[in-house]
Each structure stands twice: as structure tokens, then as C-alpha cells.
Amino acid sequence: MPTFRPVAASARLLIVDDEYSNIRLLERILAQAGYSQVLGTSDSREVESVIAAFKPDLLLLDLRMPHMDGFAVLKKLAPRLNGGGNLPVLMLTGDATPETRRAGLSLGAKDFVAKPFDADEVLLRIANLLETRFLYRALENQNGVLEARVAERTSELESSQFEIVARLALAAEMRDDDTSRHTQRVGRLSALLAEALGAESRFVELIRRAAPMHDVGKIGIPDRILLKSGTLTEEEFDLMRSHTVIGARILSGGQSELVRLAERIAHRHHERWDGSGYPNGLRGDEIPVEARIVGLADVFDALTHRRLYRPAWPVGKVIEEVRRESGRHFDPDAVAAMMDTRCYEPMLAPSVLNSQEMSVAISGLV
């Protein structure tokens, strides 16, 4: 008898043969070789349910059976024999003709053993198939480990990429907002608005993280323009508008979904629903939905907070202005969602606004 291979000690073997005598013979052969997890069935119609419950590592399948012969069983088990299942099948047959072998192999069988059984041959063929089976499973596990490591590394790189860009956004913002809270508020309000529009949770989280980078391009705008307290000239305003293109250029080429979303936001958040925005005069649904959301959140937050060139507006006046600009500056669906759900209200909470900002907001509601 061949030397038993310890790697197969945990193997689960399923025998399908309509003759009980063959099942008992194989069980004895396998038991003597050290296989302890062996199950047999004489009804080929039960194979699928038995496999689902028993989860064998190898199927010993008779060819000539009533109800469903071995070929029919192979056809029914095709998804388990190929691709993800990779269940090896050892055919048991008294018909060793080339035609029978070709038919079995074409349907997913891996090997054949002739009846009447030779114990040593049966054990050798089983051992070889199990060795391949366990090598395949080890490779699957190793691939799983490698994929997990790649995913972990990709996540680290994405986080690192986001952190660098977020710091750039913060640096740009601090040049004209010494509280450095505008980008945080726009991110939170954009997420609330996306949720009000019925967006999936993943998109809500992505826009929360990407929206704060909407003005990253301001890092390329000269201080004499960015910090000017008076009205900009037409030439100065043209240069200020270029921050959308600069921001898109800074964020371009990102591999992560987050950075690609941030690029579209930076590039398009000043486009207007009626086509009068910049840099490309897009209109309506031509503007990415994330840019429409952030464009509304950006204006709402900017108007309700003090800027170098103007005081904050009362919240009531801001709401009136947003409604007036629905269908012109802003996506009417976004405006309707904001007003219907009042998703801006959490932005008026003390945890979001400091005391001075809160007093301005309250005065606008009285």
C-alpha cells in the first residue's frame, strides 16, 4: 500500500456510486490508508445537496448510475468543477474506452480509475488529486494574503495622497480665511446635501472628504488679488477664476476615487446651472453632480460668514438668495432638497460655528 501523505489527513472525500458494495469497499480502502472523513451516497440526485453540506475536497463518481449518470452529474456540477469551486473528480468506471475518457475529461473530470478497483492505484490517484487540490487552496490563500497586502498598501498610499492634498487645501484657505474652518464646513454641508438628495452612503463620505479641496487652486493666486479688500478689476477677476483650472491641475492624475472626485469638484464648482459660470460655461446636467452640490454648499457657507471684503449675511437673506438663484446659479433639485430637508440647520449649531458666527446666524433668523 502507498505511503499515506499526512497533508490529506483532513481531506473530505465523497463517494457517489449506486452500488453499496462499491461504496463499502472504497470506505475500507480509504480507512486503512488513514482517511477519516469519508461519506458515501448511492443516489446521484442528492449530489448537489450533499456537496453543499459536506464540502468535500474530492469527489469519487461512478459513471453508470440510474436517474443521473456520471456525465449528467458532471454537467450539473460544472460551476463547482471550474473556476471558484475547483472540486476534483475521480471517475469510477468499468468503461475505459478513449471515447468515455474524453467525454469525462471534457466535462471536468480530472482522472479515472477502472473497476474492479486496485487499492494501491485508487490511493495513488486520490493522493495525487488531493495534493493538487491542497496546492490550489494554498495558492488561493496566498493570493488572498497578497491581495490584502496590496489593498492595505493602496489604502496607505491613498491616505497619504489625500493628506498631502488636504494640507495644500488648508494652506490655500489660510491665506484668505484665518479661521481655516470654511473648507471643513463646506465638506460637512456637502455631505448633508448629498444625503438629502438620496445619494449612497459611500458617495456621501467621499464628497465629505473631497469637498474641502474645492479651492485648492487658490494656492496659485497672488496675494495682491486674493487678499484685496476692494472690487477686483476685470483682469484681476479673470486671474482669480483661474483657480479652478489650477486646482484641477494640482489634483489631476490621481489614482484614487477620492482624488478624482476632488479634481472634478475643484474644476467645476463655479459652473452655473444656466451656463453663465466658469471655466467652461457648462449648463445643467453637463456639470458633475458633485460640483453642483459643492457649488451650493460653498456659496451658502461663504455668504453666512464674514469675508475680508464683506460682512456675513443674515441666514434668512442667504436662504432667500439661494431660492432666487434656483435654476439660474444652482441646480433646482439641490436647492429643493436643501430647503425641504433644512439640511443646513446643523451648520448653525454651536459645535460648527463659533460664538460670533452663531450670533450672526441667529440674527438672520429672527
DSSP β-bridge partners for residue 114:
93
Read off the pTM. Answer: 0.58
Q: Are 113 and 15 in contact (CB under 8 A)?
A: no
Measure the CA–CA gap between 289 and 273, rounded to whole angstroms: 11
Q: What is the pLDDT of residue 355?
A: 42
pLDDT lower than 50: segments of the chain: 3-4, 6, 179, 350-366
Q: Are 63 and 95 in contact (CB under 8 A)?
A: yes
pLDDT digits (tens, 9 = 90+) for 218-234: 888 988 888 887 788 99
Q: What is the pLDDT of residue 253?
A: 86
Q: What is the pLDDT of residue 309?
A: 65
The sign one gets for the Cα dihedral 43, 49, 53, 56 is positive
Three-point CA angle 239, 241, 244, nearest 5°: 120
Query: Which domains does the chain show, CATH number per domain?
Result: 6-144 (3.40.50.2300), 174-365 (1.10.3210.10)
Alpha carbon 19 to its chain centroid, in Å, reads 50
Q: What is the pLDDT of residue 359?
A: 43
Q: What is the pLDDT of residue 358?
A: 38
- Which helix (H) or strand (E) is 41 found in, with range? strand 37-41
Q: What is the pLDDT of residue 83?
A: 56
pLDDT digits (tens, 9 = 90+) for 85-107: 578 999 888 887 888 888 888 88
DSSP string, 242-299: THHHHHHHHHTT--SHHHHHHHHHHHHTT--TTS--SSS---GGGS-HHHHHHHHHHH
Q: What is the pLDDT of residue 100?
A: 87
Q: What is the pLDDT of residue 85?
A: 59
Measure the CA–CA gap between 239 and 232, rounded to whole angstroms: 10
DSSP class of 268:
H
Measure the CA–CA gap between 48 and 69, rounded to whole angstroms: 14
Q: What is the pLDDT of residue 332?
A: 97
